[in-house]
């Protein structure tokens, strides 16, 4: 029955009195906002689905991209880390709802304590997100892009991924990065990859064990070319790609990284604003603002927002990492 509003509660009167449908206007507006924000997120996820269906046979496999776990170097641990992040966010949702519950009982210190735990949980989630981004941007194996825009990755005879530094040949000669103080003031380029195209091609020719793996998926696996086909294919190399940016990424289709950055970034921004709002409300609780009002509905409203952020993550988890 929402928050009951006493007729002698001046604050509620200033807000326009008891709202419709047994909820106050403030809570109604929070629900309005949540519905519209849900549509924004579904727009993002549906656009991701569109691109994925469009390139269904060339899309990167999420299992192979997100394989890192803190302190486990070189161990392929797909999914565990995101599962942990999901759990952290769900848990911070629980502490939030406990804060709301304590608010209903007008227990100030309990509300403050649970709000504090929620803020900590949000902070841990943001940190995990940053770590995930760092790994994604840095990349692990490296790849090359062809003139036609496909990404070619390298594997050995058993299908195990081979990193560029394991076979690329270092050739004499240097290529300097173009910065603003070197050429025209308006021309510059992003940092150069570790190896040049020629070094990768020469190294590839010198290592007969290395094969090329294309983006194409047949029976849940990326297609690996034979050595002859690989040698033919490597000639079309145009760029050496290490890690990910908005322009190209070593995992596969360009749109994959774009969607990763935009969807998890937009969600991360929501978590960040959630943490900031939670901190403000936390201080209000400590200062006794709601104690004076005899009404902790403000905690309930930010709680709604915080749960919504959790709700969105549940969907991002499914559609970006699982499906």
Partner 1 sequence: MAHAHKLEILRGLIKFKSNTQKIWGVLILLTIVTSVEVVLGIMKPEALIGHFLGMKILNWIFIILTLVKAYYITWDFMHMRDETKALRRIVVWTAVFLICYLVFILLQEGGYVDTVYKSGFIKRDF
Query: Which of 12, 52, 132, 222 touches partner 1 (CB under 8 A)?
Result: 52
Cα(145)–Cα(155) distance, integer angstroms? 15
User: Contact between 117 and partner 1 (CB under 8 A)?
Assistant: no
28-30-35 Cα angle (round to 5): 95
Return phi, psi of residue 155, to 5°: -135, 160
Judged by CB under 8 A, the chain residues 151 through 210 that form the site for partner 1 are: none
Query: Which of 7, 53, 185, 218 touches partner 1 (CB under 8 A)?
Result: 53
The stretch near partner 1 (CB under 8 A) out of 50-58, 67-75, 239-247, 282-290 is 50-58
Judged by CB under 8 A, the chain residues 225 through 284 that form the site for partner 1 are: none
**Residue 215 Cβ, how far from partner 1 at the closest point, in Å?**
12
Pair 238, 145: CB distance under 8 Å: yes
Strand partners, 249: 244, 252
The stretch near partner 1 (CB under 8 A) out of 23-31, 133-141, 194-202, 210-218 is 23-31
The stretch near partner 1 (CB under 8 A) out of 91-99, 130-138, 208-216, 229-237 is 91-99
Cα(185)–Cα(190) distance, integer angstroms? 15
Inter-CA distances, 148 with 223, 227, 239, 316, Å: 17, 20, 11, 31
**Residue 320 Cβ, how far from partner 1 at the closest point, in Å?**
12
**Residue 74 Cβ, how far from partner 1 at the closest point, in Å?**
18
User: Contact between 61 and partner 1 (CB under 8 A)?
Assistant: no
Sheet with 211-218, strands from edge to edge, namely: 221-224, 211-218, 151-155, 143-146, 237-241
User: Contact between 25 and partner 1 (CB under 8 A)?
Assistant: no
Query: Which of 106, 130, 147, 247 touches partner 1 (CB under 8 A)?
Result: 106
Q: Is the dihedral of CA 280, 283, 287, 288 positive or negative?
A: positive
User: Contact between 308 and partner 1 (CB under 8 A)?
Assistant: yes
H or E element, residue 85? helix 80-104
Q: Which is nearer to partner 1, 94 or 137 (CB)?
A: 94
User: Contact between 55 and partner 1 (CB under 8 A)?
Assistant: yes
User: Contact between 43 and partner 1 (CB under 8 A)?
Assistant: yes
CA 179 from chain centre, in angstroms, equals 30
**Residue 198 Cβ, how far from partner 1 at the closest point, in Å?**
27
**Residue 182 Cβ, how far from partner 1 at the closest point, in Å?**
35
Nearest CA to 212 among 156, 145, 147, 165? 156
**# binding residues, partner 1 (CB under 8 A):** 62
User: Contact between 97 and partner 1 (CB under 8 A)?
Assistant: yes
Pair 185, 174: CB distance under 8 Å: no
Pair 207, 170: CB distance under 8 Å: no
Cα(249)–Cα(203) distance, integer angstroms? 21
Judged by CB under 8 A, the chain residues 70 through 89 that form the site for partner 1 are: 78-80, 83, 86-87
User: Contact between 307 and partner 1 (CB under 8 A)?
Assistant: yes
User: Contact between 125 and partner 1 (CB under 8 A)?
Assistant: no
Please, is 49 exposed, middle or buried when counting C-beta atoms within 10 Å of its C-beta (0-12, 13-18, 19+)? middle
Helix or strand or coil: residue 154?
strand
Which residues bind to partner 1, rule: CB under 8 A? Answer: 1-4, 21-23, 28, 31, 34-35, 38-39, 42-43, 46-47, 49-57, 63, 78-80, 83, 86-87, 90-91, 93-94, 96-98, 100-101, 104, 106, 148-149, 220, 295, 300, 303-304, 307-308, 310-311, 314-315, 317-318, 321-323
């Amino acid at each position: 029955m929402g928050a009951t509003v006493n007729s002698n509660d001046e604050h509620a009167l200033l807000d326009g009195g008891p709202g419709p449908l047994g909820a106050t206007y403030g809570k109604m507006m929070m629900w309005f906002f949540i519905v519209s924000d849900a549509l924004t997120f579904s727009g993002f996820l549906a656009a991701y689905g569109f691109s994925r269906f469009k390139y269904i046979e060339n899309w990167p496999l999420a299992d192979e991209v997100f394989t890192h776990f803190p302190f486990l170097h070189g161990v392929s641990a797909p999914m565990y880390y995101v599962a942990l992040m999901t759990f952290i966010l769900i848990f911070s949702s629980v502490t939030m709802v406990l804060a709301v519950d304590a608010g209903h009982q007008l227990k100030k210190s309990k509300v403050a304590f649970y709000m504090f735990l929620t803020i900590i949980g949000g902070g841990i989630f943001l940190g995990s997100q940053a770590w995930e981004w760092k790994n994604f941007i840095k990349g692990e194996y490296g790849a090359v892009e062809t003139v036609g825009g496909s990404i070619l990755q390298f594997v050995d005879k058993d299908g195990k991924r081979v990193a560029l530094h394991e076979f690329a040949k270092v050739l004499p000669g240097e290529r300097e990065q173009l910065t603003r103080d070197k050429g025209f003031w308006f021309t510059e380029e992003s940092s150069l990859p570790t190896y040049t195209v020629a070094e990768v091609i020469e190294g590839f020719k010198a290592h007969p064990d290395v094969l090329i793996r294309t983006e194409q998926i047949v029976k849940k696996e990326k297609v690996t070319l034979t050595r002859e086909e690989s040698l033919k294919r490597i000639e079309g190399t145009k760029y050496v790609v290490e890690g990910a940016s908005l322009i190209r990424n070593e995992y596969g289709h360009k749109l994959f990284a774009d969607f990763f950055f935009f969807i998890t970034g937009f969600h991360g921004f929501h978590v960040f604003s959630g943490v900031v709002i939670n901190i403000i409300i936390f201080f209000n609780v400590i200062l006794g603002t709601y104690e004076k009002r005899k009404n902790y509905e403000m905690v309930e409203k930010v709680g709604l927002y915080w749960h919504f952020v959790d709700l969105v993550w549940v969907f991002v988890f499914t559609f970006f990492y699982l499906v």
